[in-house]
Structure 1
Amino acid sequence: MRIASFHRSVVLGLILMIGVTGPVAAEDIVIGQVAPFTGTLAPTGIGVRTGIEAYLARVNADGGIHKQRVRLVTRDDAYQIDKTLEQTRALLAEQHPVALIGFVGTGNTLALNRDGLLEKAGIALVGVRSGASALRRPVPPTIFHTRASYAAEVRRVVSQMHSMGLKRVAVFHQDDPFGQDGLAAARTALADAGITLVATGAYAKGSTEVSEAVRTIHAADPNGVIMVSNTAASAAFVKQLREAGSYALLIALSVTTGPQVADKIGTALAHGLGVVQVVPDPASEAVPISRELGEDLRRIGVKAPANHTMLEGYLMARVLVEAMRRSERVDRPSILATLEHMGRFDAGGLTIRYSPSDHDGAEYTDISILDRNGHLLR
């Protein structure tokens, strides 16, 4: 009996040991995002997150990275600067991500950069929903962009207006570093093109109080307006300016999502609004990255059509995953070093370039126009 009991104990011990020391699933590779998932910019944060998750679904279905799944953890900052700092600190301390991705907002990311939080953590941030020059020069050691600068977007708008013979242009902008960056770029580009800046109008960040800006700009009677504004404020501005009787050509920078403007104010008022795009047409079957986004959205059960914001998130994830695949180890120092010397990367029909002296990433710009049905046309 004692021998039998001993035997059973040994067998039980071996079973327990096998359970402990046998094959165990590798821990997930964690990447983190802090962005607005509530508040006025919630659609932007959610759209970027959806694009990231769509690409990670593809990666994980193909075996992950070195047989490890990649998992996105997120924190909501509601587009508030203090919360961006607070939530980033908490995410780094509690989730220990190997990289960050998909942050939203110029002022929010500037505060993060000036705080030195990313450098102290030695962690890369790939993809920021901002084209501000202050986040590009001098080159931030830990931030890697995946979109063209606001200056490049503004130059594209001014070039379009110049080709149409417009001579009197106003600028509507957010009253913060994002808006000031766009306004400065507009002053330079308009002067270079010989176009008169007839008025400027601002609104407070996080608000849709645009009535004063509408009055000032409408009184100046411009034949074109450059809009350095987010979707909610853009919608309010277009509605009020059109209702005031203006027929000026309106073109917004890429932080405005055109179809959402049409949803908010109706297709009749939104018709003709131009929007700069920093990624290709997400509905295009001819562009690999767009076609694959559509496939992967269906993979994760997203029924809504792909949009430019989702494609931005998808691109961010694609770039970060490529860096992780190229890295000697999937850790913060290796990912940073790999991004720094990544060189040219074809992200599926859109080229990304990084070097120690340039983290701008992409140069792509285009302009879409809202049609009578609220759909974007090239």
Structure 2
Amino acid sequence: MSLLTLARAFGALGLSFTLGIGAASAAEIRIGQVAPYSGPLAPTGKHVGAGIQLYFDKVNASGGVNGNTLRLVTRDDAYKSDETIKQVGELIANEAPLALCGLVGTGNVTKLLNSGVIDKAGIPVVGARTGAAHLRRPAPALLFHARASYGSEVRAMVQQMHSMGINDVAVFYQDDAFGKDGLEGAKTALKEAGMKLVATGAYTKNSTDVSAAVNTIAKAMPMGVIMVSNTAASAAFVAAFRPANPATQLIALSVTDGPQVAERIGNKMARGLGVTQVVPDPVGGASPLAQEVRKAWAEHPQEGIDLNHTVLEGYLMAKVLVEGIRRAGPEPTRARLASALNAMQGFDVGGLRIGYTPEDHDGAHYTEITVLDRNGRPIK
């Protein structure tokens, strides 16, 4: 078989065949990430990608997975759904990745799956920054989650507010599939807890114009606000709402990066903001996963990035993906990877367990609520 024929064969597997002068040949497994690297959610895409790269660096430094090295190939979709579809299609055609990892956005992932691009390529998507119910039931064949659902996060928020004696609650949400999923989850959880939904206020995706939502919610004088919003919009809402409503408890979904909110509006304004988390604290946490990521960070720091929950989420996604690749054998294909993931049960990622069946791709259920301290850092 010629080198050209062999290289083409490896490309069909999502591998690249590389030759080094005076060195043995080695296979490189390419993994694709399409996420916002520009626009209002650029920090999110970059931090998820940094977490993935961190784990790849750790694995590659130890000899790779089944002797193969890992390479992350990224593309920017600017948090625009049509661009997600375009960039994924081009990445699959030009780079032949074995899998995708670290996608961002409910609407983006929903439109991507509906486009047929994923099914046509038969390419697994391991880890997406979305917790929407419609992306879990029924389980999409090739989407494997590594975070808790928005429903789980919202229930944790409602339970926390209920324990604080809060009864009248408003919901601030993004006016798209992501926000509406969270809104419906909040309605259900509030009803079950016997609490009142007194107002809702929405904003447009990729916008930080939250003035209408602030006015509507402020008029209802809620005791608490559930925020189903991204980082930029969350920061804008807190900055506009809080000065006149300092006693109202605000809790945002995990897609809001608390320290980024503090950077945008200042530590004093952000202090006391609650944020749900779907991974343990990577900086001060005592879990085995947190200790592992800190050690990896010390050995393979990612330039221009601070270690945070979003980075750890990317790291967790990559760890699940690599375990699937390991179980798929020395010559993994997309189909073998999907089969390996569907058979993964109780995989311990460091104090958390991840597992899938063909009918259930939820993967993880971990949630906790943190509060920003006076330094803009999340604490329990």
TM-score (norm 1): 0.93
8 A Cα contact 1:218 1:246, kept in partner: no
8 A Cα contact 2:371 2:378, kept in partner: yes
Structure 2 residue aligned with 1:35: 35
Matches of 1:340 and 1:194, distance apart in 2:
38
Matches of 1:82 and 1:31, distance apart in 2:
21
Residue deviations 1:252-311 (CA, integer Å, cap 9, x gap): 000001111111111111111000000011124622221221222232333654200000
Structure 2 residue aligned with 1:319: 320
Change (3 A) 1:21 1:153: closer
Structure 1 residue 158, shift from structure 2 partner: 0.3
2:286 match: secondary structure = coil
Q: Does 1:51 align with 2:55?
A: no
8 A Cα contact 1:34 1:87, kept in partner: yes
1:276 match: secondary structure = strand
Matches of 1:172 and 1:20, distance apart in 2:
55
Matches of 1:55 and 1:357, distance apart in 2:
28
Matches of 2:292 and 2:230, distance apart in 1:
27
Change (3 A) 1:324 1:244: same
2:217 match: secondary structure = helix
Matches of 1:369 and 1:20, distance apart in 2:
51
Q: Does 1:203 align with 2:212?
A: no
Amino acid at match of 1:239: A
8 A Cα contact 1:36 1:76, kept in partner: yes
Structure 2 residue aligned with 1:355: 357
1:247 match: secondary structure = coil
Matches of 1:375 and 1:344, distance apart in 2:
31
- Unaligned runs of at least 5 residues, structure 1: 1-18
Matches within 5 A, 1:95-244: 95-244=95-244
Matches of 2:340 and 2:27, distance apart in 1:
22
Matches within 5 A, 1:276-355: 276-284=276-284, 286-302=286-302, 304-328=305-329, 329-355=331-357
8 A Cα contact 1:57 1:299, kept in partner: no
Structure 1 residue 20, shift from structure 2 partner: 10
TM-score (norm 2): 0.92
Structure 1 residue 246, shift from structure 2 partner: 4.3
2:27 match: secondary structure = coil
Aligned residues: 360
Residue deviations 1:232-263 (CA, integer Å, cap 9, x gap): 00000001001233421000000001111111
Which of the pair has more CA radius of gyration? 1
Structure 1 residue 21, shift from structure 2 partner: 11
Matches of 1:219 and 1:301, distance apart in 2:
47
Amino acid at match of 1:342: M
Matches of 1:229 and 1:320, distance apart in 2:
27
Matches of 1:179 and 1:29, distance apart in 2:
35
Amino acid at match of 2:375: N
8 A Cα contact 1:231 1:255, kept in partner: yes
2:63 match: secondary structure = coil
Amino acid at match of 2:167: K
Cα RMSD (Å) = 1.5
Residue deviations 1:323-351 (CA, integer Å, cap 9, x gap): 00011331111001101111110001111
Alignment identity in percent?
56
